[in-house]
């Protein structure tokens, strides 16, 4: 009974509300609805298209256009028929499935760590900024910065066997296999002239940061964006046949050794920026430059096989600035050579070379 009386009072008071007040409320409500529709439209847009929104833990790098004159590998269906073509195809097969022939269960020899050349030279060396072989053949033979000797293309291949594939022995440089790899690489670089400036060649050189790359921050990147494939201990994932990797190892005893190109941060950072997580491209990278540098620092601070490199780099002027083992001509520490900042080292190196020449 009491409740009923209360309701009556409420109705009465509403009825006595002046008309202009009701109009005001209606106009206000319309405003709120219009603002809400506009906002939800903006929020519904895909993240990348929204400007000015940065998720602190997950920055989305901008997409980058690929210029029309970027390097393109020749189409596979242009590999000729017959003997010459057979060698090219065999070379391609060896680069893509190296472990099958030379790994721990290799059918030709048991010499390498189970990785494939293609694990680092993506798409059999055809991908732009995927550590491709575009300009390899045209630039060889050349004087090696490391040994100071004129190096033949076949010898350069054995260097990746010894370091990236941590091989205990290398295939015979005049054997059928190395010849086939060279046949494929020549076919791949057939349109590239010596010294030609190619967009997309080998690996992108990222701009140097002003500070050192940080392995601790890199660990967070690794856990968020790499470990689901490469494993929490960087061990990779072997296929069921135990012959080859589905996801290759990033460190540990089956990974590249500390004399390999990937052990140098500038190579690693440029590689992951354009290619990792798997499926990334120059056009659509998934890491910021900073994340790429940091994750490189983390991975390369983990244990891996050691290579005796005391005979390397006779000419210290030619030693890459990110090579993490001394001696150096400059006074920067091994730590700074390994993680940066690189700008001061680069400048010091330039000054030294200018003085000597």
Q: Residue numbers of the site for ligand HEC (CB under 6 A)? A: 95, 98, 115-122, 131, 133, 135-136, 156-157, 160-161, 164-165, 181, 202, 225-226, 228-230, 247-250, 256, 260-262, 267, 272, 276-278, 287, 295, 299
What are the residue ranges of helices labelled H in 212-342? 215-225, 227-230, 265-275, 289-299, 334-339
CB of 234 to ligand HEC, least distance (A): 8
CB of 116 to ligand HEC, least distance (A): 6
For residues 92 and 328, which CB has a smaller minimum distance to ligand HEC in the complex?
A: 92
For residues 3 and 241, which CB has a smaller minimum distance to ligand HEC in the complex?
A: 241
For residues 85 and 277, which CB has a smaller minimum distance to ligand HEC in the complex?
A: 277
CB of 257 to ligand HEC, least distance (A): 9
CB of 35 to ligand HEC, least distance (A): 40
For residues 44 and 100, which CB has a smaller minimum distance to ligand HEC in the complex?
A: 100
* Cβ(213)–Cβ(297) below 8 Å: yes
Report how far residue 220's alpha carbon sits from residue 225's, in angstroms, rounded to the nearest whole number: 8
For residues 111 and 332, which CB has a smaller minimum distance to ligand HEC in the complex?
A: 111
CB of 131 to ligand HEC, least distance (A): 5
For residues 160 and 238, which CB has a smaller minimum distance to ligand HEC in the complex?
A: 160
**Contact residues for 229 (Cβ-Cβ < 8 A; gap 6+):** 237, 247, 277, 278
Report how far residue 200's alpha carbon sits from residue 128's, in angstroms, rounded to the nearest whole number: 4
Report how far residue 98's alpha carbon sits from residue 92's, in angstroms, rounded to the nearest whole number: 10
CB of 76 to ligand HEC, least distance (A): 16
Q: What are phi and psi of 281, to 5 degrees?
A: -135, 170
Report how far residue 79's alpha carbon sits from residue 187's, in angstroms, rounded to the nearest whole number: 8
* Cβ(123)–Cβ(200) below 8 Å: no
């Amino acid at each position: 009974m009491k409740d009923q009386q209360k309701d009556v009072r409420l109705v009465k008071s509403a009825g006595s509300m002046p008309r202009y007040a009701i109009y005001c409320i209606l106009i206000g409500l319309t405003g709120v609805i219009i603002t809400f529709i506009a906002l939800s439209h903006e929020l519904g847009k895909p993240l990348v298209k929204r400007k000015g929104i940065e998720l602190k833990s997950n920055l989305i790098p901008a997409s980058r256009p690929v210029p029309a004159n970027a390097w393109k590998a020749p189409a596979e269906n242009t590999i000729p028929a017959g003997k010459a073509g057979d060698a090219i195809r065999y070379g391609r097969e060896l680069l893509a499935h190296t472990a099958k022939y030379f790994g721990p269960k290799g059918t030709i020899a048991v010499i390498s760590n189970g990785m494939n050349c293609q694990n680092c030279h993506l798409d059999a060396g055809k991908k732009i900024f995927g550590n491709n072989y575009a300009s390899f053949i045209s630039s060889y033979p050349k004087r090696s910065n490391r040994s100071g000797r004129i190096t033949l293309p076949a010898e350069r291949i054995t260097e990746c066997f010894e370091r990236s594939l941590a091989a205990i022995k290398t295939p015979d440089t005049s054997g059928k296999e190395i010849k086939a790899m060279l046949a494929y690489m020549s076919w791949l670089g057939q349109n590239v002239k010596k010294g030609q400036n190619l967009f997309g060649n080998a690996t992108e050189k990222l701009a140097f940061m002003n500070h050192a790359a940080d392995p601790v921050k890199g660990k967070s990147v690794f856990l968020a964006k790499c470990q689901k494939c490469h494993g929490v201990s960087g061990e990779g994932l072997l296929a069921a046949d135990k012959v080859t990797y589905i996801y290759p190892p990033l460190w540990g005893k089956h990974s590249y050794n500390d004399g390999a190109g990937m052990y140098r941060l500038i190579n690693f950072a440029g590689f992951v920026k354009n290619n990792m997580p798997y499926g990334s491209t120059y056009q659509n990278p998934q890491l910021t430059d900073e994340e790429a540098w940091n994750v490189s620092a983390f991975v390369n601070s983990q244990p891996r096989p050691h290579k005796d490199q005391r005979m390397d780099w006779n000419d210290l002027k030619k030693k890459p600035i990110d090579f993490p083992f001394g001696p150096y001509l400059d006074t920067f520490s091994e730590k700074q050579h390994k993680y940066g900042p690189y700008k001061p080292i680069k400048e010091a190196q330039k000054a030294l070379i200018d003085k000597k020449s």
